[in-house]
Amino acid sequence: MKHYYNSMSRSVTTDWMLKELDVQHEQININFSEDSPELRELQTINPMGKLPTLVDGKIVVTETAAICAYLSDKYLDKKLAPAIESDQRANYYRYLFIAGNTIEPALTLAASNIEHPNSATAGWGDKTRVLATIEAMTPESRWALGDEFTTADIVFGGLLDSMVTFRMLAPSPKVAAYISRIQQRPAYRETHKYFDQPMP
């Protein structure tokens, strides 16, 4: 398995995922400021030319949440995703999809003082509703799906953590406490050493 990576990019989240699962893989370091065969290879595999990108044999997976979902289902025995037939699956999917589809665009645009003229047609709505949703979906104690840490915490909690790091989200006490639980995970600590610096 090849993981296209840069220590100051979103691929830190998928690296964290790989470490939580303890999966052996080849790390391909990408420096966007230099032309390299690896960068050209990435641009061929992923038309967005973005990180993270994962190649597993003939399978190419792009998008942080998709890579995390793919890996947790591939290694279902590691129990980072609820069983396919579990009632928890629906809630699990909500956490995986709301992160990149709704929370990230809403907070990114708000941080640049950009407001969509019609929040009813913009899939991410508006910052007020997104903040209320973050508050409602953040667990009071332990993890997103209950007592067990899952990939929902890596994708949703990991996004909240990076939004706070980049000052796009001022965390409520509940969100701050959840992020601090996340930051205590050994695999998180191992993978987030350089994350708060600009990407080359």
Ligand X SMILES: N[C@@H](CCC(=O)N[C@@H](CS)C(=O)NCC(=O)O)C(=O)O
Site residues for ligand X per CB under 6 A: 9-10, 32, 49-52, 63-64, 100, 199
| Rounded least distance, CB 137 to ligand X, Å | 18
Q: Which helix (H) or strand (E) holds 91?
A: helix 88-98
| Rounded least distance, CB 13 to ligand X, Å | 8
| Rounded least distance, CB 140 to ligand X, Å | 27
Dihedral of CA atoms 15, 16, 21, 25 in degrees, nearest 10, equals 20
Q: Judged by CB, which is closer to ligand X: 33, or 184?
A: 33
Parallel/antiparallel/unpaired status of strands 53-56 and 26-29: unpaired
CA proximity to 93, closest of 54, 137, 141, 62: 137
Q: Judged by CB, which is closer to ligand X: 10, or 185?
A: 10
| Rounded least distance, CB 77 to ligand X, Å | 26
Q: Judged by CB, which is closer to ligand X: 48, or 132?
A: 48
* Amino acid residing at 187: A
Q: Judged by CB, which is closer to ligand X: 20, or 104?
A: 104
How far apart CA 142 and CA 170 sit, in angstroms, is 21
Parallel/antiparallel/unpaired status of strands 2-5 and 59-62: unpaired
